[in-house]
Structure 1
């Protein structure tokens, strides 16, 4: 079958889902065409056809068996094109954070099936629109995201905490970065003997309560090494449709402390394979960090359990689910 996926860009963050699922569907023998504006950034190693157009309009959307618009501005151009069956792929319920809430909400009411990426995401869409969706979960590339030697063991230093800092100035207001800094400040008062490493995709450089090492991770291989060399990975989002970084860190054999952001409930089990705290609960977050910093055996237990969990969350499994869903639509 031919799949057409219109996108605004393919940069960092949630667009990883698109590039991974597109590559997997292409590997399964399907013709996948990504169409995007002529100056849009493509940061991922796509193995599909890429078509650049002046802008996304019904006239510039290519024909396909299925057209999978995702971020809300791509939906109505795809729907108006009438060049294939539209399936509304939602990578996050946009009315939760975009300014154009009513326009974004309207894209969920076209007469097209909806794909969500977690149980929580599905529930939010149903709650806000009255419409059900089919879950195509996110995944992790196990060929890249796997354990490496820990920096703390190689250098015989204290544990390393890793964090991805998303810029509020770029619209990432739900990532909880201020909560992270405050929890780190509190934690350091009781246990200062740790190293802090930060990846900042947008180049954000906020005042920190203690020194940290900035890490450049522009490729999956660099990001995997960042996760794997750390002893603890922290995620502080208020909400996420799926939340891939904690799962990727688990695959790399790193203990995870994460907020209960909704989308990670499908794989994150508190006390079993990670530690889960309520969003914005700085006290619990700092207590969890302190617990793992001072309890090496517990840290190792959670890291091993997390790595075991991640083995089931492959992109091939995600592509299998999508393929099965689209074949079923074809028969109806």
Structure 2
């Protein structure tokens, strides 16, 4: 089948979902065409056809069996083009954070099926719009995201890994301040640990202790970042799916994450990760103390997490998408 995916850009964050899904659908034998503005960035190695247009208008949308707009501005040109059946792919319920809340909401009210990416995400859309959706979960490429040597083997100091997304760049829900407050408290309780961060937008932070910034622009570099850490921490208040904790598990790193909703499909507290309530700095601090001082528990958590992550594949995600689209065609 022919699938067209109009996008604003393919840079960091959730657009990696599109990149992985598009590549898997190509590998399954489908024709996938990504349509995006001529100056938009493409950060990921796509096997799908890439078509650049001056702007995303209805006349620039190619004909297809299915058109999968994702971010709300792409929905309207796709719908108005009348060039294929529109399936509204949601990577996050945009009215929760964008300024154009009414426009974003209206993108869910067109007469098109909706795809969500977790059960929590599905419930958010259902409660807000009254419309149900089909869940196509995310995955992890275990051939790339796999264990490697821990930095602590050479330093003798455990390393905490964190992805730094700042309020100044619009990421108000990532809990960055909570993380650094916990680290401030941690310095008074546990001596001798290091912090490594990836800062996709080049963000910096007046942190309580020095930290190392790692440049990671590819999946391979991200995998190396996760694998070097002894503990990966995620502090988001909400996420539609949240790929980093799952990727860190696949890399054999113990995961501490907030219960952000979208990760409930794959997180199992005290089995493959440790969960804390969003904004609970006290509990986050105590859990980090526990893991930093109990290497056997940290290693066991990492081992179970890695085994669990093996079952979450992008091929499984593509299989579910393919089955859903074929069902719409009556095949």
Range into which the TM-score falls when normalised by the shorter chain: over 0.9
- Structure 1: unaligned runs, 5 residues or longer: none
Does residue 322 (structure 1) correspond to residue 321 (structure 2)? The answer is yes
Aligned to 1:45: 45
Instruction: State TM-score, norm by structure 2.
Output: 0.99
Distance 1:192 1:129 in 2: 49
Report Cα offsets for 1:50-72 as digits up to 9, x if no partner: 00001001111111000000000
**Aligned position for 2:254:** 255
SS at match of 1:32: strand
Partner of 2:290, secondary structure, is helix
| Cα-to-partner distance string for 1:257-303 (whole Å, 9 max, x where unaligned) | 00000000001111111000000000001111111000001001100
Q: 1:106 is matched with which residue?
A: 106
Alignment-derived partner of residue 299 in structure 1: 298
Cα distance between partner residues in 1 of 2:184 and 2:168:
23
Map 1:1-332 → 2, pairs under 5 A: 1-153=1-153, 155-331=154-330
What is the distance in 2 between the residues matched to 1:204 and 1:105?
30
The alpha carbon displacement at 1:156 in A equals 4.4
Secondary structure (helix, strand or coil) at the match of 1:52 reads strand
Q: Distance in 2 between matches of 1:189 and 1:217?
A: 30
Query: Runs of 5+ in structure 2 lacking a partner?
Result: none
TM-score under structure 1 length normalisation? 0.99
The separation in 2 between residues aligned to 1:269 and 1:193, in whole angstroms, is 29
SS in 1 for 2:157: coil
**Structure 2: how far apart are the matches of 1:149 and 1:41?**
32
SS at match of 1:248: helix
1:236 CA drift (Å): 0.3
> Distance in 1 between the 2:282 and 2:189 partners?
13
Shift of 1:171: 1.1
1:167 is displaced (CA, Å) by: 2.5
Residue 40 of structure 1: how far off its partner (Å): 0.2
Which SS does the other structure have where 1:99 is aligned? Answer: coil
